Amino acid sequence: MHFCQTKVARVAGPRARLCPMGFYCPEGSRFPVKCGRNSDGKSTYTSQRGRATCDVCPPGHWCDEHDPLPQSSIQQPKICPKGRYCPAGTT
C-alpha cells in the first residue's frame, strides 16, 4: 500500500510513497499510521513495507510501540525474556 501527501489520496501516482516498516497505510490514507495497540488492546508490528494493516505481536515475543530505536519492536518483535510468559499481543 501507498500513502499520498495530497488532498486527494491515490494508491499509485507520482506523489505516492510506499508505506514504511512499523507503519500501516489504509487505502486512501494521506499519511502512514504507526503500529501500536489494535482494537482488542493487543500490541502490533509490521516488518514489511507497503502494508495496509499491522500484525499482532506473536506468542513468545513482545512489541514495544514506545521503543525509540530505529529498528524498534514495532518493526520486529523481540523474544520474550527468559522466565516470562508472552502470549500473542504482549507489550
Encode pLDDT of 58-90 as tens digits: 999 988 777 665 555 577 888 999 999 999 988
Distance CA 3, CA 21 (A): 13
pLDDT at position 47 over 50 = yes
pLDDT, residue 29, reads 83
How many residues are present in the chain? Answer: 91
Give 8's pLDDT tier (boundaries 50, 70, 90).
very low
In DSSP terms, 61 is beta-bridged to 79
Quick one: CA torsion of 56, 9, 48, 32, rounded to 10 degrees?
A: -60
CA geometry: angle 67, 71, 73, nearest 5 deg: 50
Per-residue cell: 45: 508490528
pLDDT at position 16 over 60 = yes
Q: Checking DSSP bridges between strand 23-24 and strand 33-34, what pairing results, if any? A: antiparallel
